Structure 1
């Protein structure tokens, strides 16, 4: 299989689709590991995989229209306290991946301008949806407040992260009264066992106050396919500012958006505490080990991102070197994500945190740099 140029869009229709990684693996004869996606290094949890497999037997039935019991199970995962869960569950809705929900929220949003988070770049589905809905696109450093502001936190791919006080300050400085705020916390659960306390989903009084006093609606999006390594299932959720906002999404959402296999997977996976404990324990260790190996071989490269993240955003300092790094990784069966297509950062590559043995294959491939 010949290597491809790092700027190639592969199977994506560049005229109408937003580039995304995760496509190379199926076209590599010597595939070893996919470093191009930010999924969990431990792969799909066995208990949830078994539940999803069993659910195939029910594929001749429609999925439950109320998304139960998976929706309630996810609510208990987000808000373990029984009283808190009961109070917040009606603000939660599931979707066919986060991308479906992103698009639905942006379609519901007030007309006007759109603004990304303050980082150098971020996941592009928000911008794509805003452009498709005719919004004026503001730069991240624009002094103007926007009708709709979208921040990926932690930011994929840059690894930047705003703690709650800084996040609230950013919202205050960038959103018009009556506007929408969409915060993507897909990678937030990697933070630590205390991730809920650091999440905007815990800030009930703040969200209600923004809505009542300024008419600002806060939506918190999760793509659960990264944490639980099930991108092929398409599974996301959004916590809305109110039950009425949730019902507005439900009204616009295509019926049976989440299939029986994905619902069964979610219902089981939220109970796998051992999987999460292993994730929190090993991910920072393996991440730092990978950074150390990169630093030893390429001391001029810079690695970015918080220690708990499931990926590393690497500046090679050279467009040519980054392109070769992408091509060599793919040729060795360990594709990484180029920073050029989609993100327009041609000196960067992004690689997922993986077990040391698989990282060794990648490092060996890069010795030819």
Structure 2
């Protein structure tokens, strides 16, 4: 299929199926044994332990000083030299919905296949969206969108190529958006945040690596002017008090992140072996999820669902399955038994 074909608004679905939809999958398999194991997302299954919160965090509006503390912690964690070039939002998804409002109607090119909400949000904003399967094909667009490392393939674009693309877009008054939701576990040079190219917005997700997706926290990093526009669109008190407190504590905890990297590296080796034994071929992934291909992918997903194990399927790629990582030894054993069965 030619990923570069233009997608029109009429082709846009009203909603996109995502991982984590346990309510829906449990209704489809009412006889599956509880509890369900959700391996359909790329969220760390061993979350950061949230700090104990003062009652005032729930009872009053977030303060400016709390927001500044979060931004300082995020800037330090991501290597951002100027705190004025980073803004916090109630999840990266909120930023995806804001950005199309900041540009006139444009030609938007999205490097695909990837997280489908990017294309959907720009289409809903009235923009013309094209899907491209090669980074060079994005150079002629007004707005180029890249997920790096990519979800679900794990493809990592080299920094030099992204800097060249940003420079090309800048000469045409264009914009490059790089979604780095899964980059936290990679070496620092994999991210653009510390040395931002021109005409670029970098998005960072908090909930993936810290396993606290429920608090809804994400960040945009860009020029002073762009950050002011995003902040104005988000409005006051965009991030809740509990999210500010949890985010500040987690982002400052270097030891926890180091231990998490080591644990996930071992878990990836373990799940790769299990999936290989089940006849699945590894075709991509990140330290938080693995992408495999199998001619029997549908049968495998069906069997796992009947064992109350939810994995991510891809209707456009029926031979693909994405596996998150089990969170404890009991889950590992259930997955091994279900795959062997």
| TM-score range relative to shorter protein | 0.7 to 0.9
3-state SS in 1 of match to 2:59? coil
TM-score (norm 2): 0.86
Distance 1:145 1:55, change over 3 A: farther
Q: Deviations over 1:142-172 (max 9, x none)?
A: 5761111110000011111112123334545
Tell me which residue corresponds to 1:352.
Answer: 324
Q: What residue in structure 2 maps to residue 38 of structure 1?
A: 42
The residue number in structure 2 matching 1:21 is 19
The 1-side partners of 2:218 and 2:160 are apart by 26
Residue 296 of structure 1: CA displacement? 2.1
TM-superposed CA distance for 1:356, in Å, is 7.1
**In structure 2, do the counterparts of structure 1 residues 356 and 263 end up closer, same or farther at CA, with 3 Å as the change threshold?**
closer
Secondary structure of the corresponding residue to residue 201 of structure 1: coil
Match of 1:311 among 267, 289, 292: 289
Q: For the residues of structure 1 that align with 2:206 and 2:107, how far apart are their CA atoms?
A: 28
Structure 1, residues 30-73: CA drift from partner, whole Å, max 9, x if none? 125321111113x2212xx133xx14543120112572321222
Q: Which residue of the partner structure matches residue 106 of structure 1?
A: 100
Q: 1:223-281 CA distances to partner (integer Å, 9 max, x unpaired)?
A: 110010011111100001x1121111111113212111111100111122222111211
What CA distance in whole angstroms lies between the structure 2 residues aligned with 1:55 and 1:129? 36
Provide structure 1 residue ranges, at least 5 long, that are not aligned to the other structure: 1-13, 80-84, 211-216
The match for 1:82 is: none
Residue 144 of structure 2 is aligned to residue 149 of structure 1: yes
Aligned to 2:188: 196
Runs of 5+ consecutive residues of structure 2 not aligned to the other structure: 1-11, 27-32
Structure 1 residues 108 and 313 mapped into 2: Cα distance closer, same or farther (>3 Å)? Answer: same
Out of 323, 333, 338, the position equivalent to 2:313 is 338
| CA deviation after TM superposition for structure 1 residue 125, in Å | 1.5
Equivalent-residue separation in structure 1 for 2:54 and 2:200 (angstroms) = 34
2:225 is paired with a residue whose SS is helix
- What pairs up with 1:1-369 in 2 under 5 angstroms? 16-24=14-22, 28=26, 30-41=34-45, 43-46=46-49, 49-51=50-52, 54-65=53-64, 67-79=67-79, 87-117=81-111, 119=112, 121-141=113-133, 142=137, 145-171=140-166, 177-191=172-186, 195-204=187-196, 207=197, 210=198, 217-240=199-222, 242-298=223-279, 301-305=280-284, 309-317=287-295, 321-340=296-315, 344-354=316-326, 357=329, 358-368=331-341
SS at match of 1:18: coil
Distance in 2 between residues matched to 1:103 and 1:37, nearest whole Å: 21
For 2:183 and 2:89, the matched residues in 1 are separated by 18
Q: Greater shift after overlay, 162-171 or 146-155?
A: 162-171
Contact 1:75 1:92 in 2 (8 A): yes
Could you tell me how far apart the structure 1 residues matched to 2:13 and 2:201 are?
Answer: 29
CA distance in structure 2 between the partners assigned to 1:364 and 1:250 by the alignment: 49
RMSD: 2.4
Output the CA distance in 2 between the equivalents of 1:264 and 1:144.
40
